[in-house]
Structure 1
Amino acid sequence: MGPEEINRITTAYELALRGIGIVDRKDPLAEMLAKKIIEIAQTGVKDPAQISDMAIKELGV
């Protein structure tokens, strides 16, 4: 992964955490969210907000 992709994934993760109200990054849901965001980003989705929304929907939270 290059710096641009890492930045995109990090931004999507931050948006998702805020979107579902997770503060503690040690929360098991935070880890599941991170894995789902990486999975979605690898499919070619580029917009961090879209990645975040898709991850939240796919996890059903």
Structure 2
Amino acid sequence: MSPEEVERLNRAFTFSLKSLHLVDRNDPVSDIVARKVIEIDKSGAHDPHEIAARVAKEFGIPE
């Protein structure tokens, strides 16, 4: 994984945690969020904000 990919995923993860109001990265839910970020990225979405929006939607958070 390139440094750019790592940075993109980290930003998407951070945005996702904020949108879900999660602050503890050690929370088991954060692990689920991380896996979902990776899954969405692999599906072709590469914009961190778009990924975070899709994560929030999958967790039932309205836009």
Normalised TM-score (structure 2): 0.85
The equivalences for 1:22-61 within 5 A come to 22-61=22-61
Q: How many residues align?
A: 61
Q: Which runs of 5+ in 2 are unaligned?
A: none
Q: After TM superposition, what 4+ stretches of structure 1 lie above 4 angstroms from structure 2?
A: none
Q: CA RMSD in A?
A: 1.1
Normalised TM-score (structure 1): 0.88
Task: Please report how far the alpha carbon of residue 46 of structure 1 lies from its aligned counterpart in structure 2 after TM superposition.
Answer: 1.4
Q: Which runs of 5+ in 1 are unaligned?
A: none
For the residues of structure 2 that align with 1:43 and 1:33, how far apart are their CA atoms? 15
